[in-house]
Structure 1
Amino acid sequence: MHRKLFTLKEANDLLPTIKAELANLQKLSNELEAQHTIYQILKNKTVDTSSEPLFELESRLEFKQLEIKLFVENFTRKGVLLKMIEPGLLDFPSVVDGKEVLLCWREGEERITHYHEHEDGFAGRRPHPES
C-alpha cells in the first residue's frame, strides 16, 4: 500500500483543516463520554433494560461511535496518523535527510516544527532542519 509522504510545507498547509477536524472529533468524543456516563447511570437504575429511554440512548451512543470512526478514517485517508485525540497529537509521514520520519504536531503548537523517527516516538522529537 502506498503511503503519502508530506513535505514540511504540505503538512503545515494541511494543518488548519486538520485542526478544525480534530476540534470536531474532540467535541464528538467528549459528547460520547458524557452520554456513556448518563447511559451507565440510567442502566444501573433501570430494572427493565428494554426501556425506551435506555434504547434511545444506546442508539445515540452507537451513532456517535460511528461518527467518531468516520472522522478517524478521514485522517487515515489523508495520510495523517492520529496518535491521540485529547490532547491532539498527529504525525505526518515524511523524509528528512533521506530517512523516513514522522513530522509531529501537538495541540497548542502553531505549526509543525519537529519530527521524530518511527521508533523514537514523541519523546524523540527534534527540530526540523527547515523550520
Structure 2
Amino acid sequence: MMPMHERQQRQFTVAEANALLGDLSRQLERLRELKATAARQYEEMRSIREVGYRADGNLIMLTDYQNAKREFDRVVGEANRIVAEVHALGCRITDVEMGLVDFPATLGNQPVHLCWKLGEPEVLYYHEPQEGYRGRRPLPPAWRQPAED
C-alpha cells in the first residue's frame, strides 16, 4: 500500500463510498433545489434588465434587481459550499441533475471510478476514469460484498 503522502487522490472501497450515500443524497437534493432557484433568480434579473434603464443609467427596477441578485449570489454561494464539501471528501459530483457522483478506486491494479446515481440503493457500478457515465459497468460480484476478516 502506498503511503498517504504519495497518493494523488483518495481511493474508496465500495463500503466507504456506500457509507457516504445518505449525506450525499441530501446534498444532491439540496443542490438540485439551489440550481432551480438560481435559474429562476437569473431569469428574474434578465427580465428586470429588459424593462430598461432611466436617463441616469440606473435600472428602472433597480431595487428589484438588487434583491434578485442578492438572492442569486446567496444561492450560488450555498451551492458552491456544498460542492466544496463533497469534493473535500475525495469524491466528485459529475452531474447535479442526474445526481451522479464518482469515487476514485482501484479494481485489481486498474484505476476506476465507482459510480453512483441518486436514487440507487448503493454503489453498483464503475467506469474507467476517461469513460464517464456512458461507460458504466456493473461491479464484479466480489466487490459488492463487504470484505471478510
User: Could you tell me the TM-score, scaled by structure 2's length?
Assistant: 0.81
Amino acid at match of 2:28: L
Gaps of 5+ in 1: none
Larger Rg: 2
Q: 2:38, 2:105 → 1: CA distance?
A: 33
Residue segments in structure 2 that go unaligned for 5+ positions in a row: 1-6, 145-149
Q: Which residue number in structure 1 is paired with residue 129 of structure 2?
A: 118
Give the secondary structure class of the aligned counterpart of 1:93.
Answer: strand
Q: Aligned equivalents of 2:119 and 2:25: distance in 1?
A: 10
Per-residue CA shift, 1:30-87, capped at 9, x if unaligned? 1111111112112211424272111121121112111111111111101111101002
Residue 25 (structure 1) shift: 1.1
Q: CA deviation at 1:108?
A: 2.7
* Matched positions, count: 131
SS in 1 for 2:73: helix
The letter of the residue matching 1:49 is: L
Aligned with 2:59 (options 49, 52, 74): 49
**TM-score under structure 1 length normalisation:** 0.92
Q: Which runs of 4+ in 1 moved over 3 A?
A: none
SS of structure 2 residue aligned to 1:104: strand
Q: Distance in 1 between matches of 2:67 and 2:130?
A: 44
How well do the aligned residues superpose, as a CA RMSD in angstroms? 1.5
Alpha-carbon distance in 2 for matches of 1:76, 1:46: 41
- Amino-acid identity (%): 27
Looking at structure 2, the residues matched to 56 and 121 of structure 1 have their Cα atoms a distance apart, in angstroms, of 39
